[in-house]
Structure 1
Amino acid sequence: MSYLMSNYAPLAVTFVKGEGCMLTSTQGEQYLDALSGVGVVGLGHCHPDITAAIQLQAGELLHTSNWYHIQHQETLAKELCMAANMDKAFFGNSGAEANEAAIKMTRLHAYSNNINHPIILTANQSFHGRTMATLSATGNPKVQAGFSPLISEFIHVDFDDVDAIKAHTDNASVVAVMLEPIQGESGVIVPADDYLNQVQKICQANNWLLILDEVQTGIGRTGKLFAHQYNGITPDILTLAKGLGNGVPISACLAKGKAAELLTVGTHGSTFGGNPLVSKTALAVLDVIKKDNILDNVNTISAYLLAGLQALSSDKIVEIRIKGLMIAIELNQDCTELLNAALKKHLLINITGRSIRLLPPLILNQNEADIIIITLDELLGAL
């Protein structure tokens, strides 16, 4: 009997060791992790610099409290704000917590403008977390099923549809728009190049806050440190998690301008958020990304993978969607069975609807990319 609750359905494998893009099971077999722990271990498993930072900090100080100054946290806040052109940071433990902080900030923004029933526009098929507020913000009825009544202060509009957002400019209760620059969980949905730019203009014209959820797209995943940098814009609020800690739980909610002044003493907090261990680890992640030119590798391998995937002869492929190392291969039929089929071939992938989703480590090399391409070719051929 398992003493774990039944909210997961784990595949029939247990991993005990990781190195780079590879995981080793209890049976001693190696698997190529083309998911990087669902977009978390961007620098690969057990990266020596990250491991050293964790070990060093663990031997010095794990935790105090945010009742005191935390040097590494303050340094990390500066590094992230300078990199993202933001002003201030709040640290939590997960993407959902970062998004919760962003939602609470919009409430404070609303009340400072005498809006008593604030509404946030979010996108259909979005994913923002599993707490009650972030679940309500999420535009996916399947994820929300069974958790009614949801928080009602969200209106879902179609993604990549500027007119759908413009349609609410006469609603005096709207205070913010919350979007993923690229929708990840729904299958790597990449909007038009100027979509975010147009949304920002609408927000600025209506005194709305623009919140960009980069929990999955941030920290190099798309080939830039933050996906919104492709648009040359700066949001009011930016949320990060996943790759920021390379496996250590940490998230950040960054804010700029008037939004950076919304959280005041006592309005929000986190027991573990930004403690010495996770902050030091995140600083090591940012350092490796810079010194090892990780973003260059992401863009090089992204182009290599795209060429290889486009060369596949399968007539089952409808579309390949890719930005950096966020990849979805949409098929013309259900492909749920490929999850276990890939596992048998020692490749870890994800299936979203009719799409194969890949989030390989940002350190992926050409030999490992070839393994992914060849294995997918075999899987599609047997489908």
Structure 2
Amino acid sequence: MLRRTIKNGLKPSIIRFCASTAGSASKPMKKIVDANETTATGQYINQVSKPYTVTTYARPNLVLTHGKGSYIYDLENRKYIDFTAGIAVTCLGHSNEDISSIISDQSKKLIHCSNLYYNLPAGELVSKIINKTKESGGLHNASRVFLCNSGTEANEAAMKFARKYAKQQNPNKIEFITFENSFHGRSLGALSLTPNEKYQKPFSPLIPGVHIAKPNDIESVKSLISKDKTCGVIIEPIQGEGGVNTIDSNFLIELRKLCDENNVILIYDEIQCGLGRTGKLWAHSYLPKEGHPDIVTMAKALGNGFPIGATMITDKIESQLQVGDHGTTYGGNPLGSRIGSYVIDTISDTEFLNEVNEKSTKFINKLTEIANENNDKILKIKGKGLLLGIQFKSEVDINKIVENCRQYGLLIITAGMNTIRLVPALNIGNDAINEGLEILEQSIKEYK
């Protein structure tokens, strides 16, 4: 059934076209040509969406309407295999029936009440995050959780908490260290820690006192860190947007030691690489406690598409916080919290994580085969779990491969360093894996 907003915005002829194609799923076309301006999709975009939407995204002529599991459909009911999961968000697939039931049930009870009061689902979620984290081998001294609405907000909270802790020691400890190829968000604070000129330049000047180190190069950090000025260091254990770059375990352990020596707060941004994406609950769950941070930020998969984020801290940070230091209106709302609890319960299960690793092996084996057959185009396969990247040689236009995949019925996304990023649902089925990899292989072969 078409939404009322679509009906109000489209001519009767467009509505009839949409209605005639909005039935049950049909077999995908061998080649799906992007919709032109004369189609229902093109007219919807040009008449209803584009004229009223802020210009911030470059998007193909594709209007998604519904999905199930790792398959998603457009306005003309064309079927796609989804290797994007909404940029590592829908970890349990589209239209997950259990989550739909939770949304329906909780919406009849209490959706929002603000943080003026406690609510049951929020308390259950934060306790689960702490306890499941410790059980998983993650942050061994995890203590408290701040609930918010997005990854950017989680990182903003982490920045404030690090500043608050550091300024209790020395009012001049306000600087941060971030890393090349990192991505931490789009708000002015988080953007200040995202050293990408394309993102930063239009909005400068940003927050001062941010220094950029080289990942996996501890000497570069030593040259920047200061016991008197540095309040925090933030790093993604696996860089997602920056190119699916895995940070060396020994480097993270050395970084932890260096932060301790300088009384600096260490923040792990696990917004993309956390919550089961690497085959463990957290990417840092692979590390001994000597490599654990003071703060972990999370979002994306936590809500399987419902906006929610969180910032997990240790007692060291908690001891410096007071009522009124931070807040949010929507964070910790009962609806989002119930979904988060279900996600945490599901992905922290050992059997579920074992299956993620099995699927990862399946992906990596095939991707390695594809890379070997196309070594004139591909440099390497990288990543861990179901956060994987195919890094291409600089002369390869990966956007053309993405476009070709889409026309064959596969959705994939790019990342930095000329990398195609694969972040499917963690419970993706083997059929979808096989179909998608066949399309990817064919699209790479066709590239000239």
Q: Which has the greater radius of gyration?
A: 2
- Tell me the residue number matched to 1:375: 439
**Aligned partners of 1:291 and 1:59: how far apart in 2?**
29
- Count of paired positions: 383
- Tell me the residue number matched to 1:321: 382
Check if 1:221 corresponds to 2:281. no
- Tell me the residue number matched to 1:284: 342
Q: Deviations over 1:87-130 (max 9, x none)?
A: 00101100000000000111111220123251111111110000
Among candidates 366, 369, 372, match of residue 430 of structure 2: 366
**Aligned partners of 1:264 and 1:211: how far apart in 2?**
20
SS state at 1:360 partner: coil
- Flag structure 1 segments of 5+ consecutive residues without an equivalent: none
- Tell me the residue number matched to 2:267: 211
Among candidates 171, 191, 206, match of residue 135 of structure 1: 191
**Aligned partners of 2:433 and 2:267: how far apart in 1?**
34
| 10-19 vs 129-138, which moves further | 10-19
Paired AA for residue 331 in structure 1: F
Instruction: Give 1:232-243 correspondences, 5 Å limit.
Output: 232-233=288-289, 234-243=292-301
Check if 1:32 corresponds to 2:81. yes
**Aligned partners of 1:170 and 1:122: how far apart in 2?**
14
Identity of aligned residues (%): 36
- Tell me the residue number matched to 2:307: 249
- Tell me the residue number matched to 2:405: 342
- TM-score calculated relative to the size of structure 1: 0.97
**Aligned partners of 1:308 and 1:264: how far apart in 2?**
52
8 Å contact 1:314–1:377 — kept in the other structure?
A: no
**Aligned partners of 2:226 and 2:270: how far apart in 1?**
28
Paired AA for residue 346 in structure 1: G
SS state at 2:90 partner: coil
Instruction: Give 1:141-152 correspondences, 5 Å limit.
Output: 141-152=197-208
- Tell me the residue number matched to 1:293: 351
Paired AA for residue 62 in structure 1: I
8 Å contact 1:24–1:31 — kept in the other structure?
A: yes
CA drift of 1:155 comes to: 0.8
- Tell me the residue number matched to 2:65: 16
Q: Deviations over 1:11-48 (max 9, x none)?
A: 21111111100111111111111000000000101111
- More helix by percentage: 2
The RMSD of aligned alpha carbons is 1.4
- Tell me the residue number matched to 1:66: 115
- Tell me the residue number matched to 2:332: 274
CA drift of 1:196 comes to: 1.1
**Aligned partners of 2:250 and 2:429: how far apart in 1?**
31
- TM-score calculated relative to the size of structure 2: 0.83
**Aligned partners of 2:225 and 2:430: how far apart in 1?**
48
**Aligned partners of 2:150 and 2:422: how far apart in 1?**
21
**Aligned partners of 2:355 and 2:125: how far apart in 1?**
24
- Tell me the residue number matched to 2:323: 265
- Tell me the residue number matched to 2:25: none
- Tell me the residue number matched to 1:198: 254
- Tell me the residue number matched to 2:156: 100
After TM superposition, where is structure 1 displaced by more than 4 Å over at least 4 residues in a row? Answer: none
Check if 1:52 corresponds to 2:101. yes
Paired AA for residue 286 in structure 1: I
- Flag structure 2 segments of 5+ consecutive residues without an equivalent: 1-46, 135-141
Paired AA for residue 446 in structure 2: A
Among candidates 209, 212, 236, match of residue 156 of structure 1: 212
**Aligned partners of 2:226 and 2:102: how far apart in 1?**
51
SS state at 2:293 partner: coil
